[in-house]
Amino acid sequence: MTADRRHLASLDAFRGATIAAMILVNNPGDWGAVFPPLAHADWNGCTVADVVFPFFVFIMGCAMPFAFARRDAQSAGPWRPGPRITLRAVTLIALGLALNLAAALPAAASMRVPGVLQRLGLAYFFAALIVRSAGAATQGAVAIALVIGHWALLTLVPFGGDVVREVTRAHNLAGFLDTRIFGSHTLTPGFDPEGLLGTAPTVATALAGALAGQWLRRHADHGRQILGLVIGGVAAIVIGLAWSTVWPINKPLWTGSYALLTSGLAAVTLAACLYAIDVRGFARWARPFLWLGVNPLAIYFCAELVGHLIERPLLPYVFGGLAPKDWVFWRVFTPIGDHARGEWPSLLFALVYVGCWVGAAAVLHRRGIRIRV
């Protein structure tokens, strides 16, 4: 159990840093003034913002072997994982729908259905069942089959009475299916980046994380752990970049090349966390991330919910009829950066917002509160 806790401390720091990045990229002071690396690629390509969500999916998968082993050790007899896995998946989906409802109000009827937590819930459900029922070799084979199958569906299967000539935002099977299933309840007309078809390669990303977690549990030597993560990560990056020459890196579709690239980057980043925290003992400097990493989903949900609420104008005589976020940004942050590019005040607002949630996570940590989802 000691080894598991040590590894999970590194994983918590990585998870917390990822949550901080998710909050940062989702809450600029001004969406019209964002540094390019912190904005999502419009279609093909990959920015810093584009690696954040797959990093969290990878971390979720990496934690599965530790969580299941801990559950096995605590159970007096065999435990049935199915109901617990299902409950967690349903909870994640419900929380995601709640966020979408908050974002849509007062026009609840036009609420978006897919979303980040919905995708996370589905990916967790399928990946967890696979990890519990199959060995590492089978998990790897399933992950490969998922990304290849996803590629085949998008590039070879005709739809809408037309053959596939080119996969574009306006013409792709994923958007076609989402429109048929969700109608107008997608992020943009005809397409949603968290649609159903992209769940398959997202499960593959989670399985890649699970394989990394099993490697960490199998080997106690830090040097071997780090070496395995780096070798596997670099291999995934190289294969992903090679595949991208014919199947572009694309976050909205979660293409196989994107899944491989981001899984590889996540593995290398996890290796860096292991080296910094477990080998060099830099845990003190990672405390803010450790606090966030202990209650990641609770912090993320609350940050997103508050982010939606402060973008709503209050009563006409409050904040001059402006939304609280706009009033604070234009009255406080814009004057601070009066002689700087507009991106700097926007980034400063996002950093302060992240700092507020680090403070909330610190309070939960000091009071020993751990909110499990």
**pLDDT per position as a tens digit, 195-223:** 999 999 999 999 999 999 999 999 988 99
d(CA 49, CA 36): 9
Residue 124 pLDDT > 70, yes or no? yes
> Has residue 93 been placed in a domain?
yes
Mean pLDDT of the chain: 92
> Has residue 202 been placed in a domain?
yes
> Has residue 291 been placed in a domain?
yes
Interval 39-67 mean pLDDT = 96
* Reported confidence tier of residue 341, pLDDT bands at 50, 70, 90: confident
Residue 16 pLDDT > 90, yes or no? yes
Domain count, the chain: 1
* Full 3-state SS string of the chain: CHHHHHHHHHHHHHHHHHHHHHHHHHCCCCCCCCCHHHCCCCCEECCHHHHHHHHHHHHHHHHHHHHHHHHHHHCCCCCCHHHHHHHHHHHHHHHHHHHHHHHHCCCHHHCCCCCHHHHHHHHHHHHHHHHHHCCHHHHHHHHHHHHHHHHHHHHHCCECCECCCCCCCCCCHHHHHHHHHHCCCCCECCECCCCCCCHHHHHHHHHHHHHHHHHHHHCCCHHHHHHHHHHHHHHHHHHHHHHCCCCCCECCCCCHHHHHHHHHHHHHHHHHHHHHHHHCCCHHHHHHHHHHHHCHHHHHHHHHHHHHHCCCCCCCCCHHHCCHHHHHHHHHHHHHCCCCCCHHHHHHHHHHHHHHHHHHHHHHHHCCCCCCC
> Has residue 86 been placed in a domain?
yes
pLDDT of residue 336: 77
- For 222-239, write each residue's pLDDT tens digit: 999 999 999 999 999 999
Domain that holds residue 177: 2-366
* Reported confidence tier of residue 5, pLDDT bands at 50, 70, 90: very low
**Exposed, middle or buried, 108 (CB in 10 Å: 0-12/13-18/19+)?**
exposed
Please answer whether residues 361 and 45 qualify as being in contact, where contact means their C-beta atoms are separated by less than 8 angstroms: no
CA distances to 4, 19, 98, 176 from 161, rounded to whole Å, are 53, 42, 36, 11
d(CA 73, CA 148): 36
> Has residue 190 been placed in a domain?
yes
> Has residue 371 been placed in a domain?
no
pLDDT of residue 11: 92
- For 145-184, write each residue's pLDDT tens digit: 999 999 999 999 888 777 667 899 988 999 999 999 999 9
pLDDT of residue 316: 64
> Has residue 79 been placed in a domain?
yes
Interval 277-295 mean pLDDT = 90
d(CA 351, CA 355): 6
> Has residue 251 been placed in a domain?
yes
d(CA 96, CA 121): 9
Residue 3 pLDDT > 50, yes or no? no
Q: How far is CA 122 from the centre of its chain?
A: 13
Interval 334-340 mean pLDDT = 71
d(CA 232, CA 251): 21
Nearest to 299 by CA among 373, 249, 367, 241: 373
